[in-house]
Amino acid sequence: MTDRITVLDFGSQYSHLICRRIRDLSVYAELVPYDITAEELARHDPKGIILSGGPASVSDRDAPIPADAVFESGLPVLGICYGHQLIVHRYGGRVKRANREYGSSTLTVDGGGAGLLGGIGGSVRAWMSHGDEAEQIPRNFEVIGHTENSKAAAIASRDGPVYGIQFHPEVAHTEKGSRILENFVLNVCKAKQDWTMSKFVEETVGRISNIEGDVLCGVSGGVDSTVAAVLIHRAIGERLKCVFVDNGLLREGEPREITDMFRDNFGVNFEAVDAAQEFLGKLGGVADPEAKRKIVGEEFVRVFSDFARSRGPFRWLAQGTLYPDVIESGVSKGPASVIKSHHNVGGLPEWLDLEVLEPLRDLYKDEVREVARILGVPKSIYMRHPFPGPGLAVRIMGEVTPEKLGIARTAGRIVEDELLQAGLYSDVWQAYAAVGDDRAVGVVGDERMYGNIVMIRVVSSIDAMTADWTRLPHDVLERMSNRITNEIDNVTWVSYAISSKPPATIEPQ
């Protein structure tokens, strides 16, 4: 069995990053609700437990508290931020409200920290984000690191492998944060580095080969659904049927590209369905972003269900759902709020009459790309920029109209064209153009025009769980802007989005 680290989710915006950083060590990490039962925890059989941060205070009446089994299991435990305060509280120390500390601090390593803080030097930059702090550490604990404002920024038990740190080692802002997690996972927990995508492919193909019935797989041309389809095809062969639904919300020329790609590359049963009018009709007059996502999700399933009834029988509906989709849709059942519904997660209606098969739901995007490489998917496909399941519906603020669809399509193509021309396409995670109802005055020829505003969004990321806006060269931005205003009617202004994730999301809706 693969060794694993179990991360208890107390609602931090960084919880998923803990898992991601640990997986970089070739150790499987999973995010579970903080209130996981003792029985469930035993079934997971982790090598160690990490308590995430979170917005609560341990002094709150309804503060989230894990089962006693977490501390009584004898397993190594690492508490981060709120998790650190939980450890202080659980073992008899005292936590107090403090002036909120948010940002970079200098962590000074004290004696006794070799197990967790070994090899990071005498001091490092650490990222703080907290409103409580340890006023008095528990008996039989020692301070192994402090900052100017936090005298117990890192503590360790003298009685066993239990550690608490006030800062966030999982974020890039913490210098040598990955080394701290490595110390805990490999040196303290003694976890084996046996989480590889080759092993994932082998085990997943073996598991899927044992399912009964035929599988209907919705493919969009993106890396997620493509990899899911190729993986399932390797397991069950002709029992897989791939269907591509043209929802009228795709990029310019995409329906033909996707059809050609599947027919030329993969040798799977494939059929395209033109449902553009149905989708656009359902979206008419709808402006709320969550409502649009739900409509697109439900209409997808209706089309698939109709296809299954007429071409079946099928038992399974396969999708390219990823771990970030599950987390952001609130399906992980932790205390974190829902960020947005994904068309293939939160958008699924109760009347779905097919069982759902999601072979990639435990993977991050970069892991999926490695699976694609192993399966022999062409690089031009698996390195393609992500595209949202609801398509341009979430890149159009307000109601989806033919005019705004045309603007988003053409402007998006221009953005990608210019990145390709500049040799920057593969250097960024995602790039697109969005349009809403905002307008601005411009001058076209000798006439004033009250036209649309187009927003360009280009971000850099590793796994889409966090993202930074890309500092494109000014001449590239200038060419994008000039082409958009010259080639698209009724566009007068072009803006560039410079918000990172968090606090923003990558897509505007």
Predicted model pTM = 0.77
Dist. CA 49–CA 35, nearest whole Å: 13
State the average pLDDT for the chain: 89
SS (H, E, C) 243-254: EEEECCCCCCCH
User: CATH number for the 395-496 domain, one of 3.10.20.440, 3.40.50.920, 3.30.300.10, 3.40.630.30?
Assistant: 3.30.300.10
Using pLDDT thresholds of 50, 70 and 90, give the confidence band for residue 464.
confident
| pLDDT > 80? residue 129 | no
| Chain centroid, CA 163 distance in Å | 28
Known catalytic residue: 242? no
> Active site residue: 84, 89, 146, 168, which one?
168
| pLDDT > 60? residue 86 | yes
User: Max Cα separation, the chain?
Assistant: 80
> Active site residue: 19, 81, 189, 217, which one?
81
| pLDDT > 90? residue 479 | yes
Residue 425: per-residue pLDDT: 96
Residue 457: per-residue pLDDT: 98
Residue 346: per-residue pLDDT: 44
pLDDT in tens, 443-459: 877 788 899 999 999 99
Using pLDDT thresholds of 50, 70 and 90, give the confidence band for residue 474.
very high
| Chain centroid, CA 467 distance in Å | 10
CATH superfamily for 197-382 is HUPs (3.40.50.620)
Portion of the chain with pLDDT greater than 90, in percent: 67
Residue 101: per-residue pLDDT: 64
| pLDDT > 90? residue 493 | yes
Nearest to 318 by CA among 218, 171, 188: 218
Portion of the chain with pLDDT greater than 70, in percent: 93
Residue 337: per-residue pLDDT: 39
Known catalytic residue: 447? no
Break the chain into its structural domains and give their ranges.
4-188, 197-382, 395-496
| pLDDT > 90? residue 497 | yes
- DSSP code, position 313: -
As to burial, measured by CB atoms within 10 angstroms (0-12 exposed, 13-18 middle, 19+ buried), residue 331 is: middle
> What is the mean pLDDT of the segment spanning 464-476?
92
Residue 339: per-residue pLDDT: 37
Known catalytic residue: 233? no
| pLDDT > 90? residue 14 | no
E strand spans, 137-203:
141-146, 154-157, 162-165
Same-fold call for 197-382 versus 395-496: no
What is the phi/psi pair of residue 114, to 5°? -60, -35
| pLDDT > 50? residue 335 | no
User: CATH number for the 4-188 domain, one of 3.90.420.10, 3.90.1010.10, 3.40.50.880, 3.40.50.1110?
Assistant: 3.40.50.880
**Which range is least confidently modeled, 40-44, 302-306, 400-404, 416-420?**
302-306
Residue 383: per-residue pLDDT: 87
Residue 127: per-residue pLDDT: 87
The region that residue 273 occupies, defined by phi over 0 for left and psi between -120 and 50 for alpha, beta otherwise, is: beta
pLDDT in tens, 337-353: 333 444 454 444 555 57
> Active site residue: 84, 89, 133, 170, which one?
170
pLDDT in tens, 136-173: 999 999 999 998 888 899 999 999 999 999 999 998 88
Residue 333: per-residue pLDDT: 45
Residue 351: per-residue pLDDT: 56
Dist. CA 183–CA 236, nearest whole Å: 41
Residue 331: per-residue pLDDT: 44
